[in-house]
Amino acid sequence: MGHPAASVAAQERQTDVDFALIGHQENWRSAADVLAVLRGNERARLPDEEIREIFPWIPPRAVCHVEIASATGAKARGLYIDCFIPPDRLDCAYVHDNLCRVRAAAACAINRGAKIVSLGGFSSILIEGNFNQLPHRTDTIFTTGNTLTVAFIVQGIKKMCALQGREMSRSTLLIVGATGDVGSGCARCLSPLVKRVVLCARNAERLRTLVAELEADGSEVEIATRLEQESFAADIVVCAASLASPSLQLGCITPEAIICDAGYPKNLRPPENMTGARVFFGGLGQISGGLSFMPDFKGILNRHPFPDVAHGCLLEGMALALAGRFEPFSQGRGFITRERVEEIETIAALHGIHLAPLFNAEG
Amino acid sequence: MESLVSLNCSEQAMCNSPLPTASIWQDILAQAVTGELMAAMNYSSLSTICDEPEEVADALEHAQGEQGHAAAFAAEGRKIGVNVPNNVNARYWKRIREAFMRCIAERDFMACLIVQEIMLESFAVASYSRVGKAGPGSLGKTFAAIAAEEEGHIEHAMEILRAERAKDPQRFDDKVYRLHLDVMTTLTEMVAKECPNGQCELCHSSCVKPSLSEVGLTTVELRGASLQQYLKTLDALGLPGEVTLQWVTQLPV
């Protein structure tokens, strides 16, 4: 068996880079597992203290090759690029440093000739869809992946309501983080399906703009800038707020509410006395044709209870690569419409990328 | 230990009121002086395998420059009232020199550049920059200035090495990896939190590493910055990031 340099370097030269996925680790356990794979089985795992000391110094870079297989038989090859943002520095105090890391990761993708790049996790949130913050490039396209994320959130809500026998047309939908790209996209897609929509976000002006848009479509809409403000009695909840702080506490929802945790990181815990609430992680898809990594990071980079599951934000770039559509499908904020969601759903489905089985922190 | 090379220590130039942390700076300067002297020796050896007269002159000029750096560091030691020793036969430096001389024996000019410019200079640039920020007065400024000069050396070598890599990337990367195993293990041990094999044979009494915090430095920072610079240098050379990441994560800590 050749040493790592020979085998991986040879692969790098043989394959085109159709796509790149930019992401980061959510917690120190994941970071430790990534380093353990890189060190190989013959070396002892690094102590936690060493990992916390070393990790922040690693410059953003490719970690492994990724291959995705389509239901049509086509394949796309790419790279997973990690920003190496320390998991305890995902909050706003480090926004400048983290932006630098995202840009450096983007530069890696450009230098490797990636045709399309998906921005996963905080990397997408940090630049808020504003690709002007990314390095200059001519042939590399970026997408936030938010449209496919919205598609999977909406599909997940519909599926959970069907499983619970919940009639959506009688429901009150609460969207937390409603004016974000994902939140507003969910609002446009779900408001026609429910009786009443409550939009919650910090920016009142953006809320009013979104309300006007939805009301023009015939929806009944209310707004709130704080969750504790009043009694919503929401029985369907989409949490699309991006907070790196401890669990988002919900009040003012019905005891058996269906709750989609669509934020990043997944930080939602309903109140302890609401044992009837059904929480599931939203925005996740599954690739029927399979997803492989070289070195083998299966179960490490995609740490989910089902195989070949990944976040919609990453899957969008891969789906577009399989379709040969190298275009910035999702960018900016507020442009996710029902039509765009249907379009990306069709592209993804053609290549065997579907809603993942529903699960939460318990499985 | 004794000084291998005299650097014109003048008793009259010694400061009369040493810093409280002078002994710590003495050990830091000892590593820097030894590293620069080793670089001078390496460039002198490199001149013996150069084919072109211009290359010979260039290598010798480089050697002279590194000798100048060593002298500058020694002078900073005198300013704070310490005599800075050097020892190119100290445990880790000896191993690095031996690795370099193996490249000389093979007449492998590119390997010599990789060891000296990519590996050793990366560490020098990163650690000197950190010391430059922490060091008092002219001592800090000297470290910062020499860091900047060394960065210029790296860039010149990078042009040569990129051109070499372009001829056969696989072969080039394999060569870098072999040298990485030979040299970087030693460098990593040098900047580890504790010297894994006992005294480095350069610190004048006990190991200086536990005392670095008294002068605003830590081994964590020095090690992290050095490995980061090394990875970035390899990135700039064009080596795949996922490959070099594995190399570095497999180094001893």
Q: What is the pLDDT of residues B35-51, one digit of tens each?
A: 999 999 999 999 999 99
State the nearest Cα–Cα gap between A133 and chain B, in angstroms: 22
Convert the pLDDT of each residue in B86-114 to its tens digit: 999 999 999 999 999 999 999 999 999 99
Compute how many other C-beta atoms are within 10 angstroms of the C-beta atom of residue A13. 10
For residue B3, pLDDT beyond 80: no
- pLDDT of B197 > 70? The answer is no
Find, in chain B, the residue whose alpha carbon is nearest to that of A53: B220
Confidence of residue B252 (pLDDT cuts 50, 70, 90): confident
B202-231 pLDDT, tens digit each: 887 788 888 899 999 999 999 999 999 999
Q: How many CB pairs under 8 A join A and B?
A: 80
CB–CB contact A6 B174 (8 Å) = yes
For the beta carbon of residue B153, count every other beta carbon within 10 angstroms: 18
pLDDT in tens, B141-155: 999 999 999 998 888
Q: Choose from B242, B246, B251, B253 for mutation: most chain A CBs within 10 A.
A: B242
Determine contact, residues B128/B147, Cβ cutoff 8 Å: yes
Give the residue, B171 or A131, on which the prediction is more confident: B171
Chunk chain A into consecutive blocks of 10 residues (it has 363) and report each block's average pLDDT, rounded to whole numbers.
45 71 93 95 92 96 96 96 94 88 94 93 73 82 95 97 94 93 96 95 92 94 78 87 54 83 72 76 95 92 90 96 95 93 98 95 79
Q: Do B242 and A65 touch (CB under 8 A)?
A: yes
Search chain A and give the residue with CA nearest B249.
A39
CA distances B11 to B14, B26, B83, Å, are 5, 16, 9
Is A253 or B158 the better-scoring residue by pLDDT? B158
Nearest alpha carbon to residue B227 among B172, B190, B173: B190
Closest CA–CA distance from residue A77 to any residue of chain B (Å): 15
B210: buried, middle or exposed (CB in 10 Å: 19+, 13-18, 0-12)? exposed
Residue of chain B minimizing CA distance to A66: B242
Supply angle C-alpha A172, A177, A183, rounded to 5: 75
Token pair of B151, please?
């960065």
CB–CB contact A6 B245 (8 Å): no
Q: What percent of chain B has pLDDT over 70?
A: 91
Q: Which of residues 5-64 of A touch B (CB under 8 A)?
A: 5-6, 8-10, 12-13, 35, 38-40, 43, 46, 50, 53-54, 56-59, 61-64
pLDDT value at residue A129: 66
State the pLDDT at residue A243: 59
Are the Cβ atoms of A295 and B220 closer than 8 angstroms?
Answer: no
Grade residue B20 by pLDDT with cuts at 50, 70 and 90.
confident
Instruction: Name the pLDDT band for B9 (thresholds 50, 70, 90).
Output: very low
Q: What is the C-alpha radius of gyration for chain A, rounded to an integer number of angstroms? A: 20
pLDDT for the residue numbered A137: 79
Mapping DSSP to helix (H, G, I), strand (E, B) and coil, where does residue B224 land?
Answer: helix
CA A45 – CA A164 distance, rounded (Å): 44
- Measure in Å the smallest separation between the Cα of A119 and chain B Cα atoms: 18
Three-state DSSP at B74 gives helix
Distance, in Å, from the CA atom of B183 to the CA atom of B174, rounded to the nearest integer, reads: 14
C-beta atoms of A40 and B250 within 8 A: yes
A283's torsion region: left (phi>0), alpha (psi -120 to 50) or beta? left
A299 Rama sector, left if φ>0, alpha if ψ -120 to 50, beta otherwise: left
Judged by CB atoms closer than 8 Å, whether chains meet at A50 and B246 is answered as: no
Q: Which residues of B touch A110 (CB under 8 A)?
A: none
Tokens of B245: 């990441």
All residues at 6 or more sequence positions from B69 whose CB lies less than 8 Å from its CB, including other chains: B32, B36, B39, B146, B149
User: What is the Cα–Cα distance from A219 to A187, expressed in whole angstroms?
Assistant: 10
Q: Is the pLDDT of residue B15 over 90?
A: no
CB contact under 8 A, B227 and A57: yes
* Among chain B residues, CA nearest to A294: B242
Q: Write out chain B residues lying below 8 Å of A58, CB-based.
A: 228, 231, 245, 248
Say what the pLDDT of residue A269 is: 65
Predicted pLDDT at B7? 55
| Count of helix runs (H) and strand runs (E) in chain A | 10, 17
- Residue A97 to chain B, least CA–CA distance (Å): 15
Q: What is the ipTM of this complex?
A: 0.89
- pTM of the shown model: 0.89
Cβ–Cβ contact A295 with B under 8 A: yes
